[in-house]
């Protein structure tokens, strides 16, 4: 059953914005209990419609049910539970650290909502990246507008259908649509905009936000490298790299984008990757129910085009099927820095292997490019890991695994430079949408000590 949901009429958008502003001013989410009720409703929305979401994911991305459960639905329900349990603690007013010079002012930091916030989300994790920010924004007491991706129409449409049934329309609204609807949204002043997606659109968002002085956080992508120490546990490494690349057919912002390894270890690494691939998909990925397809024709053409232009050698994979938007997991050997496969984030199941002389050359290769969203190192040697981490910059630095850091409770998720700015994930999403309002209460008697601050000044008091 395909879910069709109509785009939001453009002339309704300013009214949605005005309604939420009115609701925010009326204090709809002032109390922690009101926030918890909405967070709980969001968890019910997912729980009650679990199977419908599995169907929409299959329609949009051919996504296997287990991946949908593990990486989208359960993790988002888990984030609801964390926020529900911890929101009172997160929102508690904090005393400033004790300082005898200022203690009399009773300085505190009030955790206040920013107001009415907007989140524009991408197609690749259409539940987790659409509803995760909503949880943190509501926990912080904001009213929230979601613009989910039109490229995953079944899942985004289902979200647009269900939000009004489960959530208070004075708290959350969905604007469903594509560029014209987003352009209209961006003409309005927001108390915060979170944009998750590619760098080209991020520039459009920032330019529009500059006109209304709306603060922006950017969760972007880029090419996340993997540096392999040839002495590492290669069998485990290959499995984890291949998994990170094949989940959602490589359409993950932190998917390992390319491998850097010493030239004389290249074949050994490729052999291990091939074994991992064959273990995952014994009859090939095309025949497997556990492998997704590329989101649409445009992205399929883009990935296929990059593969056609490479001067490296596809050592396995390389098959494509346009009718099914299928690209096989493909490992390409002997890729150089100026290759087509190194020209942009691949966002598909293609894994170039770039041979380097040694770890120093790998570090130089990374530092010559934009700071990646994730940097992976596979090594059991701490000096190897530290050398790579200490001499590079990236959103996250992960040793001996891939992707898993996004779900790790307590860790911020975000990029640096071209891979983004700002952090999200549970408490960090709450912080993103929270205004730290400095506050103090000065007693009258303090002027016995500080009375000399008032004119006429007495210069003799200067030391
Ligand atoms: P997308 O095409 O779904 O676009 C993202 C959003 O931008 C959508 O809501 C879309 O409607 C909107 N948009 C598109 N064109 C626009 C325009 N001209 N003006 C205003 N809004 C517009 O997804 P995408 O951008 O292709 O997503 C993939 C990218 O996102 C990759 O680079 C990936 O690495 C990155 N990503 C980052 C994170 C993160 O948390 N850092 C997570 C997921 C994806």
Determine which one of 80, 232, 246, 253 is catalytic.
253
- Whether 146 and 119 have beta carbons less than 8 Å apart is answered as yes
- pTM here is 0.96
Determine which one of 72, 181, 219, 345 is catalytic.
219
pLDDT of residue 2 exceeding 70: no
pLDDT at 457: 92
**CA-closest candidate to residue 220, choices 71, 424, 418, 426:** 418
- 150 phi, psi to nearest 5 deg: -75, -15
- Residue 1's SS3 state is coil
Which token pair is 84?
């529900």
- Whether 406 and 124 have beta carbons less than 8 Å apart is answered as no
pLDDT tens-digit readout, 78-98:
999 999 999 999 999 999 999
pLDDT tens-digit readout, 196-253:
999 999 999 999 999 999 999 999 999 999 999 999 999 999 999 999 999 999 999 9
CA–CA gap between residue 95 and residue 110 (Å, rounded): 9
pLDDT band at 5 (very low <50, low <70, confident <90, very high): confident
User: Averaged over 382-403, what is the pLDDT?
Assistant: 98
Taking the mean position of all CA atoms in its chain, how far away is CA 377? 21
CA–CA gap between residue 116 and residue 56 (Å, rounded): 29
User: Averaged over 176-180, what is the pLDDT?
Assistant: 97
Pocket test for ligand 1, best of 183, 198, 205, 208 (most atoms within 8 A of CB): 198
Which residue is closest in CA terms to ligand 1's atom 27?
197
CA of 195 relative to ligand 1 center, distance in Å: 8
pLDDT at 463: 63
pLDDT of residue 328 exceeding 50: yes
CA of 383 relative to ligand 1 center, distance in Å: 37
Residue 72 falls in the annotated catalytic set: no
Residue 253 falls in the annotated catalytic set: yes
Helix (H) or strand (E) holding 119: strand 116-120
| Residue list, ligand 1 pocket, CB within 6 Å | 120-125, 129, 147, 149-151, 178-179, 182-183, 196-198, 201, 204, 219-221, 253, 345, 347, 373, 415, 420
């Amino acid at each position: 059953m395909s879910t069709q949901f109509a785009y939001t009429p453009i002339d309704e958008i300013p009214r949605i914005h005005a309604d939420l502003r009115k609701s925010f001013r009326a204090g709809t989410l002032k109390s922690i209990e009101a926030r918890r009720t909405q967070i709980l409703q969001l968890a019910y929305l997912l729980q009650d419609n679990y199977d419908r979401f599995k169907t929409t994911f299959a329609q949009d991305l051919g996504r296997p049910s287990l991946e949908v459960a593990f990486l989208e639905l359960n993790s988002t329900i888990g984030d609801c539970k964390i926020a529900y349990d911890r929101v009172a603690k997160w929102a508690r007013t904090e005393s400033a650290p004790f300082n005898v010079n200022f203690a009399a002012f009773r300085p505190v930091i009030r955790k206040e909502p920013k107001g009415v916030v907007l989140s524009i989300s991408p197609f690749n994790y259409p539940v987790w990246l659409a509803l995760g920010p909503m949880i943190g924004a509501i926990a912080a007491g904001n009213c929230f507008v979601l613009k989910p991706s039109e490229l995953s129409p079944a899942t985004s449409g289902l979200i647009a259908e269900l939000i009004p049934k489960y959530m208070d329309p004075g708290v959350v609204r969905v604007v469903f649509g594509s560029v014209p609807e987003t352009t209209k949204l961006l003409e309005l002043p927001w108390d915060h905009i979170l944009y998750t997606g590619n760098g080209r659109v991020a520039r459009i968002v920032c330019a529009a936000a500059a006109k209304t002085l709306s603060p922006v956080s950017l969760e972007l992508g880029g090419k996340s490298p993997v540096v392999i120490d040839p002495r590492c546990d290669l069998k485990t490494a290959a499995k984890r790299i291949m998994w990170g690349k094949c989940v959602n057919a490589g359409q993950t912002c932190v998917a390992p984008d390319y491998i850097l390894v010493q030239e004389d270890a290249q074949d050994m690494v490729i052999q291990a990757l091939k074994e991992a691939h064959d273990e995952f998909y014994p009859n090939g990925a095309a025949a497997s129910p556990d492998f997704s397809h590329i989101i649409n024709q445009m992205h399929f053409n883009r990935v296929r085009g990059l593969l056609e232009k490479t001067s490296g050698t596809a050592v396995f994979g390389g098959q494509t099927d346009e009718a099914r938007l299928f690209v096989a997991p493909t490992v390409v050997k002997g890729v150089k820095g100026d290759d087509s496969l190194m020209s942009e984030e691949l966002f598909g199941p293609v894994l170039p292997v770039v041979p380097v002389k040694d770890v120093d050359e790998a570090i130089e290769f990374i530092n010559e490019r934009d700071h990646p969203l994730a940097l992976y190192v596979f090594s059991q040697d701490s000096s190897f890991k530290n050398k790579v981490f200490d001499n590079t910059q990236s959103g996250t630095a992960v040793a001996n695994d891939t992707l898993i850091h996004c779900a790790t409770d307590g860790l911020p998720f975000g990029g640096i430079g071209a891979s983004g700015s700002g952090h999200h994930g549970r408490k960090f999403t709450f912080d993103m949408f929270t205004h730290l309002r400095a506050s103090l209460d000065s007693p009258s008697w303090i002027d016995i000590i500080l009375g000399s601050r008032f004119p006429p000044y007495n210069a003799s008091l200067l030391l």
